[in-house]
């Protein structure tokens, strides 16, 4: 079966890939869980809750439950490509504004290219 979406990491003008770098700092078991969740979205798009939520505008989130915490990967669609903009470990109920703003800023950079 072919994926519905391609997946790529957002890349800064300097060539950094913040989500890839964030993932590298996580334990292997967490990386595996996050990867499986992203793959579920990749093959099953469009999906809704509980795995995917629309945060408004062009920003979506993959909702990931790890062993003892919750992770989020914020993404945007670029045609048939899921661009991973920002990843973080969630510490409160609502998505923190700085995390959402960071994803929005990266999306603006993406659209300018």
pLDDT in tens, 62-113: 999 999 999 999 999 999 999 999 999 999 888 999 999 999 999 999 998 8
Tokens at residue 110, please?
């993406």
Q: What mean pLDDT, rounded, does the chain reach?
A: 96
- 3-class DSSP assignment, residue 54: strand
Q: Which CATH number fits domain 6-108: 3.40.50.1110, 3.30.2310.20, 1.10.10.1400, 3.90.1280.10?
A: 3.30.2310.20
Among 28, 14, 35, 48, CA closest to 87: 35
My answer on whether omega of the bond before 38 falls inside 30° of 0, hence cis, is no
Q: Which neighbouring-strand residues pair with 52?
A: 62
The phi and psi torsions of 111 (rounded to 5 degrees) equal -70, -25
């Amino acid at each position: 079966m072919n994926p519905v979406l391609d997946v790529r990491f957002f890349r800064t003008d300097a060539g950094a890939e913040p989500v890839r770098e964030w993932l590298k700092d996580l334990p292997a078991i967490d990386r595996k869980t996050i990867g499986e969740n992203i793959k579920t979205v990749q093959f099953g798009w469009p999906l809704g809750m509980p795995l995917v939520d629309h945060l408004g505008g062009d920003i979506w989130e993959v909702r990931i439950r790890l062993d003892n915490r919750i992770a989020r990967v914020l993404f945007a669609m670029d045609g048939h490509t899921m661009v991973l903009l920002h990843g973080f470990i969630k510490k409160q109920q609502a998505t923190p504004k700085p995390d959402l703003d960071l994803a929005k800023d990266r999306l603006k950079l993406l659209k300018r290219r």
